[in-house]
């Protein structure tokens, strides 16, 4: 098989490998070189996809669940008087919410470099272990300074998880499958609300003279994380090429089915030309501002949500229980948003739809008075704002599906997560315990951000349409067909209906750039998705 240009950059090793290790460390083109075309049946592909879903996805779900649980543990402790027990005053509680994202923001450049250079599975596993240790350490904190220091460490280690899971999703699944998988691991955010609320409800009843309630909660969350980290270290694979669970031709099929993505898999080589393009690409900053706009209300409501509910007139334990439906709405919004985006093949339209109930909810929270007669409508309005949870995973998928080149994609992901961190830093600071019960400043800012999301989504979709037109012209200029089908967004059954063989791509291998580690702007075969 003729190799695509630049294929030597697809994956490299910095150590000399044994013959047994060579197979795992070969690049995708070398692995497939024994056959000019890797054909496989629909059933074979389904079997490989099922194995990936069973072996990789559960570990991703667990990692994100624990990140969200440990990160959100602060909001649960707010109902059980952490402010009083730790001597917090003024905006100190708000800063404890923001400092975690300050740490994540600071760590994003280093995180992008680590994800290019090091095995992804091991990066995730070590990060989980380290933040589990940190969570247990937080149980010993008794004042603002100690809590700030450990929350900063927690954010530093957790900063690797979101970008890592985005990278894992891209390297294991086709673009048509990525949205639902990203939605699945993001739905753990809703599971966290339910599990965390129920666990906190029980832990809050423990009375001891030696530990405050917040210390018990931190120790509980940290212990669960440490146990999971052991399983992650043992079972989390680094890439499709290095996974140990393949049989017969399964690895070849797993790699070949990703060819239509035109995004590569993994390179282990840092490229400064990719960094430059990522920084100068307008799309990068579209993702930055879009995720920041939704993260401002997410950070504010995520940190102050229990206090907002408590301001409706509920006691500690009812406040915790009434946060459970908020988690259920999270799950519904995330999974249904992912399903609809896959169904209609448009993430922009679904993001615009999900922002509408958020606008309605924030408006009602601002308009209704606090009092016994308003508890029901206020709770409904609060639950409507939780539709924002369905937007973030779509942004994650949207940006990675429209970015090619390993280094560029991970730098773009890093910048996108910086936007998310910036929003989550700003969000809690727009709220203050002194503004209760209405929290007008925070809610007004949230309403403005929801409206901004609607406008920005429309502009992004127009720009992606322009880029697709430009790439059609580029293909025509080099003698290729200007109008092509985006096979990465199609099922194999759909390809068969178009008259293509299963496992066979439309573009000849010697003209194909799928594994050449090219950026999306330079690869004329790349198709942008709306």
* Alpha carbon 19 to chain centroid, angstroms: 36
Closest CA to 383 of 433, 332, 340: 332
Length of the chain: 530
pLDDT of residue 491: 57
Closest CA to 422 of 106, 68, 93: 106
DSSP class of residue 16 equals P
pLDDT of residue 79: 73
Contact partners, residue 352, CB within 8 Å, separation at least 6:
453, 454, 457, 458
Q: Please name each of the domains of the chain with its CATH number.
A: 46-245+255-468 (1.20.1250.20)
CA angle 516, 39, 10 (to 5 degrees): 15
pLDDT in tens, the chain (530 residues): 333 333 333 333 333 333 334 343 455 545 544 454 567 788 888 999 999 999 999 999 999 999 999 988 888 787 777 888 888 887 888 888 889 889 998 998 888 889 888 999 999 999 999 999 999 999 898 899 999 999 999 999 999 999 999 989 988 998 889 999 999 999 998 898 889 888 888 887 788 878 888 899 999 999 999 999 999 999 999 988 888 999 878 988 888 888 777 666 666 788 899 999 999 999 999 999 999 999 999 888 877 777 788 778 887 778 878 878 888 999 999 999 999 998 888 999 999 999 999 999 999 989 988 877 788 888 889 899 999 999 999 999 999 889 988 889 889 998 998 999 899 888 888 888 778 888 889 899 999 999 999 999 999 999 999 999 999 999 889 888 888 776 666 655 565 555 544 444 444 455 556 666 788 888 888 889 88
The dihedral over CA atoms of 70, 184, 179, 450, expressed in degrees to the nearest 10, equals -50
- Whether 114 contacts 160, CB under 8 Å: yes
Provide the token pair at 244. 């140990």
Closest CA to 74 of 102, 91, 97, 99: 97
pLDDT of residue 181: 94
């Amino acid at each position: 098989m003729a190799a695509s240009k630049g294929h030597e950059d697809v994956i490299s090793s910095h150590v000399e490998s044994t013959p047994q290790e060579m197979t795992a460390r070969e690049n995708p083109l070398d692995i497939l070189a024994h056959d000019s075309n890797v054909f496989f049946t629909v059933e074979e592909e389904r079997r490989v996809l099922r194995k990936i879903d069973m072996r990789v996805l559960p570990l991703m779900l667990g990692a994100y669940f624990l990140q969200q649980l440990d990160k959100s543990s602060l909001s649960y402790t707010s109902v059980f008087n952490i402010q009083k027990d730790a001597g917090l005053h003024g905006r100190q509680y708000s800063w404890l919410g923001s400092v975690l994202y300050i740490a994540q923001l600071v760590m994003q450049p280093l995180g992008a470099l680590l994800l290019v250079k090091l095995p992804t599975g091991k990066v995730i596993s070590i990060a989980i272990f380290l933040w589990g240790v940190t969570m247990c350490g937080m149980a010993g904190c008794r004042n603002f300074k100690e809590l700030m220091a450990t929350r900063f460490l927690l954010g530093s280690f957790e900063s690797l998880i979101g970008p890592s899971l985005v990278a894992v999703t891209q390297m294991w699944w086709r673009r048509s499958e990525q949205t639902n998988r990203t939605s699945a691991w993001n739905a753990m955010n809703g599971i966290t609300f339910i599990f965390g609320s129920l666990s906190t409800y029980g832990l809050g009843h423990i009375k001891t003279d030696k530990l405050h309630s917040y210390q018990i909660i931190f120790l509980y969350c940290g212990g669960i994380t440490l146990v999971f980290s052991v399983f992650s270290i043992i079972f989390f694979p680094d890439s499709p090429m290095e996974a140990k669970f393949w049989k017969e031709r399964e690895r070849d099929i797993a790699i070949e089915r990703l060819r239509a993505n035109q995004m590569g898999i993994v390179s282990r080589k840092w490229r400064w030309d990719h960094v430059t393009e990522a920084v100068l690409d307008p799309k990068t900053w579209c993702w930055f501002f879009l995720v920041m706009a939704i993260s401002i209300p997410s950070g504010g409501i995520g940190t102050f949500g229990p206090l907002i509910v408590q301001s409706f007139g509920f006691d500690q334990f009812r406040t915790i229980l009434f946060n459970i439906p908020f988690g259920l709405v999270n799950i519904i919004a995330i999974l249904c948003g992912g399903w609809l985006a896959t169904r209609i093949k448009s993430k922009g339209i679904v993001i615009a739809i999900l922002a509408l109930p958020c606008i309605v909810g924030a408006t009602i929270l601002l308009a209704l008075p606090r009092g016994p007669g308003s508890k029901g409508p206020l709770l409904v309005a609060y639950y409507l704002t939780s539709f924002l949870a369905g937007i973030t995973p779509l942004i994650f998928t949207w940006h990675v599906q429209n970015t090619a080149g390993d280094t560029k994609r991970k730098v773009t992901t890093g910048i996108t997560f910086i936007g998310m961190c910036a929003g989550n830093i700003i969000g809690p600071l727009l709220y203050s315990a002194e503004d209760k019960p209405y929290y007008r400043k925070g809610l007004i800012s949230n309403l403005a951000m929801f409206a901004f999301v609607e406008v920005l989504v429309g502009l992004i979709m127009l720009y992606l349409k322009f880029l697709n037109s430009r790439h059609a012209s580029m293909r025509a200029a080099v003698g290729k067909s200007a109008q092509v089908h985006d096979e990465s967004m199609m099922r194999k059954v759909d390809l068969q209906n178009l008259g293509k063989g299963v496992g066979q791509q439309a573009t000849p291998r010697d003209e194909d750039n799928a594994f050449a580690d090219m950026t999306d702007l330079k690869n004329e075969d790349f198709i942008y998705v709306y």
